[in-house]
Amino acid sequence: MSQTPEDQATGLRSFDALFRFFDRITATMSVIGTAAILFIMVLITADVVGRFFFGRPIAGVPEMVSMLILSIVFLQIANTLLRGKLTRADGLLTLLRSKAPKVGGVLDAVMHFIGAGLVGVLVYAFYPLFVRSYGRDEMIGTVGQFLAPIWPTYLVVLIGACALLIAFALRGLAILLAAFRGPSREAAR
Amino acid sequence: MSGIEIGLWSLGAILVLIYAGMHVAIALALVSFFGIWILRDNADQAARILSLATRESISSYLFGVVPLFVLMGLVVSRANFGRDTFDVATRFLGGLRGGLGISTVGANAIFASITGISIASAAVFTKIAVPEMMRAGHSARFATGVVVGSSILGMLIPPSLLMILYGILAEQSVGALFIAGIGPGILVTVIFCVGIWLMVRFWSGFTGTAAAASIDDASGRGALQEIVSKLSPIVLLVGLCLGGLYGGVFTPTEAGAIGALGAILIAFVKRRLSPKTLWQVTLETGHITAAICFLIIAATMYSRMLALTGLPVFLTEWIVALDVGVYGFLFFYIAVLVLLGTLLDSSSIMLITVPLALPVAQSLGIDPIWLGIITVLAVEIGLLTPPMGLSVFVVKGALDDPAISLKDVFMGAAPFALMMLFALVLIVLFPSISLGLL
């Protein structure tokens, strides 16, 4: 059920190659996020075991988990969109695509471009937060127990949001091109 | 335009955009952005609220619970634990009238106590139970309907992703919600079992006539050993993860981590999971987590915008002044949820309605935990109703049998939607079903 760039193949070779290349990048980011989920699982279990059997919890687990969650989400989000797994109700679009493929394609593409625009606003507004956290060396945790800088997490958020912006734009373009260049595979299914 | 008008317009705009096919999170964030822009006449400030919601809404220890319980649910589905529960359930219940259907419900109820996602249960039991029921002579409608209906137990019996989501939105204890879900989960299970028995007895035109299920005659020590070996992983997981949670030893996040790791280890020991499958399952977990958390970020933006419009306060005062009472409000609330459920997915409905309904409910003196259980069950009815019935789609997708149409599955699920509504009425009339264990 999950989608790949091939589903939106436009037939324009250079564009398809670019799309596939970008898809690989998001897949790599997603792999890092996936590893982080397993890491959180092991970390929390180790914390619980340490607390029960050795009377020594690991310092800073709540802080690490809270920062990692934010990173995980933004590492995965672009790939989630490209796999067609970002939550949406596609009843109307499916109907349109079977009845009037071009109208359906245009509407779908517009939805993606709006997504790109909104994420652009987010990137624009989030950038100052990152700069400030880096400039002031903001920390998370308690002095004497566990301290970590916040800016790496915000950097990941920023990179992930940029990737999502590009993913929205490219996928929108691909859908638009496919709608006007002969039958796309999505319509054929 | 007054704030309240903007609030109402934004609500309408969100519904239209989502229905038109915009990604739900984008629709929520977009409307919030423009809403705040108009309210404050300041685009920069609107953008800043978006970025602050991104920074603050999900970076908390509690959110570790989302990927961990999703991972646990996906691992146990992939490792065939569902098949084991079904085998054990048919052994005990298969001889009854409608025994295969009742076994499916029973197996789902047990399986639900180690998984928190209905989609996982629906896919697993379509492959296991539907062929068995049809081979025994049940109609396709009935067989698929039983699976669709009982799959909702996955998110009603704790752990439950929807309860986690409600707990986050309403700032309620996830642990308390889990405990409150036990009673209603058992209630729905019993209602389904009785309903199946009655349907098979009195409505064989719908269910088809089934031959008595063939049960292995192996008895004595061999059978006992088999049951123990099939059931022990589940008992172990429930004891480890939920036992610790209910006993107050673990936080929900810790219970999730230990449950997920426990499920992986047991699946490895039983040779049910290869490292490759584990990796695929974790990737899938990542996508689900990202989609849900992104929705939560967008929902935070939306509820901040709503607070600025003053709509929740207005709505609260209006409903209190109407003097419809607790039941009047709940009736209206449930009707809205079920109606939205025909079009939207469960999590989106909760994200849109809970920030509006919670202040009203609290001013009426409604227990927020009780409201959570009502919300989860009402929203789950939407998984069964056309045109957007997610569980029905999953079952149809997992079937691989073109002879069974989507309409058949919806028809089969309809009696179960009605039974859920009946259970919901009981839960509303008798709050102690949910709150008795707290």
Across B395-420, average pLDDT? 88
> Confidence class of residue B47 from pLDDT cuts 50, 70 and 90?
very high
| DSSP 8-state symbol, B241 | I
Q: What is the DSSP string of A110-125?
A: HHHHHHHHHHHHHHHH
The pLDDT, as a whole number, for residue A189 is 39
Distance of alpha carbon B178 from alpha carbon B23, whole angstroms? 29
Against a cut of 0.80, is the pTM above it? yes
Distance of alpha carbon B35 from alpha carbon B77, whole angstroms? 42
Q: What is the pLDDT of residues B115-135, one digit of tens each?
A: 888 777 888 888 888 988 888
Greater confidence, B26 or B81?
B26
The pLDDT, as a whole number, for residue A182 is 61
Q: What is the DSSP string of B328-383?
A: HHHHHHHHHHHHHHTTS-HHHHHHHHHHHHHHHHHHTT--HHHHHHHHHHHHHHTT
Interface touch B291/A87, C-beta < 8 Å: yes
Residue B147 has pLDDT above 90, yes or no: yes
The pLDDT, as a whole number, for residue B218 is 57
CB B59 within 8 Å of CB A67? yes
Q: Which residues pair with A148 in a beta bridge?
A: A140
Q: What is the DSSP string of B369-431?
A: HHHHHHHHHHHHHTTTSSSS-HHHHHHHHHH--TTS-HHHHHHHHHHHHHHHHHHHHHHHH-T
Residue B348 has pLDDT above 60, yes or no: yes
Q: What is the DSSP string of B112-173?
A: HTT---HHHHHHHHHHHHHHHHHHHT--HHHHHHHHHHHHTHHHHSSS-HHHHHHHHHHT--
- Residue among B30, B54, B47, B14 nearest A115 (CA): B30
Q: What is the pLDDT of residues A32-85, one digit of tens each?
A: 999 999 999 999 999 988 888 888 878 888 888 988 999 999 999 999 999 988
Q: What is the pLDDT of residues B197-223, one digit of tens each?
A: 999 988 888 888 777 655 555 566 777
The pLDDT, as a whole number, for residue B330 is 95
Q: Which of A87, A98, A151 is best to mutate for the B interface (most B CBs within 10 A)?
A: A87
Interface touch B22/A108, C-beta < 8 Å: no
Residue B371 has pLDDT above 80, yes or no: yes
CB B156 within 8 Å of CB B352? no
The pLDDT, as a whole number, for residue B212 is 63
Interface touch B286/A33, C-beta < 8 Å: yes
Q: Which residues of A touch B52 (CB under 8 A)?
A: 129
- How close, in Å, is residue A100 to chain B by CA atoms? 15
Q: Which residues of A touch B18 (CB under 8 A)?
A: 88-89
Residue B242 has pLDDT above 50, yes or no: yes
Q: Which residues pair with A141 in a beta bridge?
A: A147
**Considering Cα of B246, then B247, then B248, then B253, what sign does the dihedral take?**
negative
Distance of alpha carbon A162 from alpha carbon A154, whole angstroms? 12
Q: Give the H or E element holding residue B324.
A: none
Q: Which of A58, A70, A96, A119 is best to mutate for the B interface (most B CBs within 10 A)?
A: A70
Written as tens digits, the pLDDT of chain A (189 aa) is 456 666 667 777 888 889 899 999 999 999 999 999 999 999 999 998 888 888 887 888 888 898 899 999 999 999 999 998 888 877 788 888 888 888 999 999 999 999 999 999 999 999 988 988 888 888 887 777 778 888 999 999 999 999 999 999 999 999 998 888 765 444 443
The pLDDT, as a whole number, for residue B362 is 92
The pLDDT, as a whole number, for residue B215 is 57
Residue of chain A with shortest Cα separation from B287: A80
A144-to-A126, A141, A151 alpha-carbon distances in Å = 30, 9, 20
Which one of A47, A61, A122 has the shortest CB-CB distance to B51? A122
**Considering Cα of B234, then B278, then B390, then B210, what sign does the dihedral take?**
negative
Q: Which residues of B touch A126 (CB under 8 A)?
A: 51, 54-55
**Considering Cα of B289, then B291, then B294, then B296, what sign does the dihedral take?**
negative
Across B364-372, average pLDDT? 95
Q: Return the exposure string of A135-147: e unless at least 16 CB atoms fall within 10 Å of the residue's CB, then b.
A: eeeeebbeeeebe
Which one of B66, B71, B258 has the shortest CB-CB distance to A48? B258
CB A147 within 8 Å of CB A140? yes
Interface touch B23/A66, C-beta < 8 Å: no
Q: Which residues pair with A139 in a beta bridge?
A: A149
Distance of alpha carbon A79 from alpha carbon A85, whole angstroms? 9
Q: Which residues pair with B23 in a beta bridge?
A: A88
> Confidence class of residue B228 from pLDDT cuts 50, 70 and 90?
confident
The pLDDT, as a whole number, for residue B187 is 96
CB B130 within 8 Å of CB B399? yes
Q: What is the pLDDT of residues B106-120, one digit of tens each?
A: 999 988 888 888 777
Q: What is the pLDDT of residues B170-189, one digit of tens each?
A: 999 988 999 999 999 999 99
The pLDDT, as a whole number, for residue A186 is 46
Distance of alpha carbon B31 from alpha carbon B285, whole angstroms? 29
CA angle A169, B393, B296 (to 5 degrees): 50
The pLDDT, as a whole number, for residue B199 is 93
